[in-house]
A and B are shown apart, each in its own frame.
Chain A
Amino acid sequence: MEKLLEIDQLTKVFSFGSILSKIKLTAVDNISFDIKPAEIFALAGESGCGKSTTARMIMGFESPTSGQIIHSGTEVAKNEKVWFTQGIQAIFQDPFGTFNPLRTVDRYFFETVKNYKLAKNKTDAIKLIDAKLKAVGLSYEEFAGKYPSEFSGGQLQRISVARSLLTDPKLLIADEPVSMVDASLRMSIVNLFKELKENFGVSVLYITHDLATAYYVSDRIAIMFRGDIVEMGPVEQVLMEPKHPYTQLLRESIPEADPEKRWNYKIDLSELEYEEYMRKGCKFAGRCPQVMEICKAEMPQDTQVGKAFVKCHLYSESQKSQNEVI
């Protein structure tokens, strides 16, 4: 099947620390996935596992250390700001950082309308802007002439979503687009993504921590952990029958909206983030309840389990045959 966006062995290494003790951190470690036309693809996983870095590379704000980004069949040159093209639009993770505090928010909208010649005159421009704002529960009247500080977190987030829709993009890179929005508005925004997909063939890279909405709107999902994609496949399989121990832990940790079902035991988070990044074998080995000797020594390969790929020794060929012997 045709691919709209293809990510091929993408890697990003950051280095920081002093000159004497330089630390290298592989924020994104050789990941590959693709997004098809009219597909909602979710990217979820641990805080700090490299999701935003991946998104930023796709948009050209960060250059990959190695690997390729292929957009509709053509490779995107390093540093090219794909974000500014009409076909692909982005919603950034931090709505407070998206807008300059000294500029009124509507100026961003008028600029986009002007840059892409989306309207003939001001009246048409306002009509267009109002329509996109209405789609996220706001209106032009409420928003005109205001500075970012005059909006709440969720309002700014919805404004970012509305802005990304102005150009009728084919691909939306949405980095935590609804994290500050209440459950009901969140539903209306993901329903909007669904409509865009179904009626206009729009694809969405939906980066989120909200696995319930990811399950609800997405077709496929990739679960990232410390720079790796550890499990990827149809949401139905990955979220309903998670195979990787990390995916299982994620699934178990989703708080249920039911006070009768509170968490009744504690979890351990003590390991430092970059220590996990530095691990030689499976990066989850330090916390995995099913850890084996091989996990600490060797990085597991992708293994197909049903319709999904899992990066875990529990499912690798050698391990499977051993399991059978036992």
Chain B
Amino acid sequence: MNKTILKTDHLKAFYVLDVHGTQKVVKAVNDVNLDIQENEVYGIAGESGCGKTTLLKALVAAIEPPLRLMDGKILYQVNGKEIDVASLDQEAKRKLRWEYISYVPQGSMSVLNPVTKLKETYRDFIGSHVSGKSKDEAFEIAKEHLLDLGLPLKILDAYPHQLSGGMRQRVTIALATLLKPRIIIGDEPTTALDVVVQRGVVQLLKDIQGKLQNTIILVTHDMGVQANVADRVGIMYAGKIVEEAPTETIYGNPAHPYTQYLIDSLPKFGDKSTRKSVPGSPPDLGNLPSGCPFHPRCPHVMEICKQEMPGYTKLEPNHRVACWLVGEGERLS
């Protein structure tokens, strides 16, 4: 039986902006319930700008203005105790970051300091995160970790711009996993890499996961990568998880019209016929349509879709969908 490691309960995180004196609210994470298990790879896919990065920021407790936690909870399971992230002070959050949960951000080049050699970045990192060890001792641990992951030690003498994108990404992942976190969060960790290196990075992530028996939350719009590594996939649209199921179901039997479009829009080798994308434009999260946020673009739209947001219908115990077409839905408590 699996155990929950991280949970969100009706999580709402909005950007609250002041535009020429009027308040504007961007509903980037809008009522999200997640129940992430130990030792699983949970994939998140969805349209550009739908709130994936914002959701991850909330999960790692990095909510800073203009982003605000409006409602709901983020619950960590640390050493058998449930912790409400909102109750943590800065120092406690800092401690949990890297040890309990660690984050490889989108465009992770920015994590590595461009003007220092990687050696220094590693030294600084260890210096500020590992106490009770001499710098040299800690540095030895870092070296071992790199070797463990099959990365050459020579890179420590390089500046970030001297490494290829793939190597940089693997170094960032190595750094993020140095303290053996229970949860690794990757935001598009393989975009901008060639498919061979991408495979290497995914392999690295899976190796680490295998060794640590921990959890990976992987945001990527690369449906090939999701298919390859995720155990479960959540599909996000306009700040909401609109469908969630085991990977096989998402690909083999998608139920939400948006998911269906997403799967169908994938180009295939040997087939140059025009492939369609979702009609219309992504919604403005600062000015959401009423009812189901997908309704202006949905080919199956009904009257009720324009008026009310559907609740989740469970097609199977582990397959939930928010769409009126599929069912009346129920409000999960």
Contact = CB atoms under 8 A, between A and B. Distances in A.
B48 A154 contact: yes
Nearest to A180: B191
A16 B284 CA distance: 46
Nearest to B162: A16
A134 B272 contact: no
Given A48-B166, A96-B107, A253 B198 contact: yes
Contacts of B52: 152
Nearest to A151: B49
B193 A262 contact: no
B307 interface: no
Interface stretch (B30-38, B224-232, B324-332): B224-232
Contact of A181 (B45, B48, B225): B48
Interface string B29-73: 000000000000000011111001100000000000000000000
Nearest to B48: A154
B267 A153 contact: no
Nearest to B248: A259
Contact of A240 (B20, B106, B270): B270
B222 interface: yes
Interface in B246-279: 247-248, 251-252, 261-263, 265-270, 272, 274-278
Interface string A95-125: 0100000000000000000000000000000
A137 B195 contact: no
Given A180-B188, A184-B277, A216 B194 contact: no
A182 interface: yes
B251 A46 contact: no
Contact of A255 (B45, B162, B222, B286): B222
29 contacts: A44-B194, A48-B163, A49-B194, A137-B282, A138-B282, A153-B48, A153-B106, A180-B191, A182-B48, A183-B223, A184-B265, A184-B278, A191-B277, A209-B198, A212-B266, A215-B267, A216-B272, A239-B269, A250-B195, A255-B199, A255-B202, A256-B224, A261-B227, A262-B227, A267-B200, A269-B150, A269-B196, A269-B197, A272-B155
Interface of B: 15, 17, 19-20, 45-49, 52-53, 106-107, 109-110, 150, 152, 154-155, 159, 162-167, 188, 191-200, 202-203, 221-229, 247-248, 251-252, 261-263, 265-270, 272, 274-278, 281-282, 284, 286
